[in-house]
Amino acid sequence: MTKKTAYVSKLPDETGNIIWTDEENAIWSELITRQLACIEGKACDEYMHGLHKLNLPKDRVPQLGEVNEVLQAETGWQCYPVPALIGFGEFFKLLSEKKFPVATFIRTREELDYLQEPDIFHEIFGHCPLLTNPSFANYTQAYGKMGLQASHEQRVFLARLYWFTIEFGLLDTPQGIKLYGGGILSSPGETDYALNNEQVERQPFNILDVLRTPYRIDIMQPIYYMIPELAYLDEIRQFEVEEIMELVAKAQMLGLYPAKYPAKEAS
């Protein structure tokens, strides 16, 4: 989370608003229009309900205050502006305080389809609709509290829990597989890949398996973990921190599963 980035977050002015350029607003408009069409019938119902509540503008980047007004009324959460990349300690602290970190920059047109660091489109469109849902919101806060009590080595394993739920989680519903992970919901390529690629593994969620599964951030995911419903996150949240850390210790002892992707080439 502390690697270098080419992007610089914008600072709010004295009114709390961020001044976006015409080009940045146009990029937001293009991204949201494209992704709304892409996720139709594929996102979980809870996400779509949250998206309706947020009523995000289609012609400009939303102001964080607009989003916060809805989030605070629904679950007590708020978006919190941060630099493009922050450390694990700050990340966990913010989540534990019901503050969702949002890097206040938007990708360039050259990286419209993919960028490694999360921008405001990924954070607002991908994650904020589900922060109106108590199960998702409470799980996210509990994850933050968990991370605050973990050592550096434990946090490396806990990162996989976040990755395979909040970022790249799937629901296995009676109506078929639905999306709830923000990394999928904000990406047209990942949306199609997660649902339709025949080589992808889609496994039932098991915490120990998740903690032992390596991942790369710069490729399409070779494996996804599925929960039966969003309320299942309440069951994970109800684990005591000590129980989660015992599972982390077991995962450390057993070691990681073999990676399902090639090693990253040295740059």
At residue 1, the pLDDT reads: 40
Residue 17: pLDDT band with limits 50, 70, 90: very high
Q: Is the pLDDT of residue 135 over 70?
A: yes
Asked if 166 contacts 143 with a C-beta cutoff of 8 angstroms, the reply is yes
At residue 2, the pLDDT reads: 45
* Beta strand spans in the chain (E): 78-82, 99-103, 170-173, 176-179, 201-204, 223-227
Token readout for 100 is 């969702």
Q: Is 52 annotated as a binding residue?
A: no
H/E stretch holding 39: helix 22-39
Q: What is the 3-state secondary structure (H, E, C) of 44-105?
A: CHHHHHHHHHHCCCCCCCCCHHHHHHHHHHHCCCEEEEECCCCCHHHHHHHHHCCEEEEECC
The fold adopted by the segment(s) 22-254 is Phenylalanine Hydroxylase (1.10.800)
Strands 170-173 and 78-82: unpaired
Least confident of 7-21, 202-216, 253-267: 253-267
What SS3 class is residue 139?
helix
Token readout for 164 is 């395979």
What residue has token string 């009676």?
174
Q: Give per-residue pLDDT as tens, 39-55.
A: 999 999 999 999 999 99
Residue 3: pLDDT band with limits 50, 70, 90: low
The mean pLDDT value of the chain amounts to 95
Q: Give per-residue pLDDT as tens, 156-202.
A: 999 999 999 999 999 999 999 999 999 999 999 999 999 999 999 99
* Mean pLDDT calculated for residue range 100-123: 94
The side-by-side arrangement of strands in the sheet containing 223-227 is 176-179, 170-173, 223-227, 201-204
* Mean pLDDT calculated for residue range 196-218: 97
The verdict on pTM exceeding 0.85 is yes
Return the percentage of the chain with pLDDT > 70, whole number.
98
Q: Is 152 annotated as a binding residue?
A: no
State how far the alpha carbon of 123 is from the alpha carbons of 97, 167, 203, 231, in Å.
Answer: 17, 10, 26, 21
What SS3 class is residue 138?
helix
Q: Is 49 annotated as a binding residue?
A: no
At residue 5, the pLDDT reads: 75
Residue 264: pLDDT band with limits 50, 70, 90: confident
Return the percentage of the chain with pLDDT > 90, whole number.
90
Positive or negative, the CA dihedral 183, 187, 193, 194 is positive
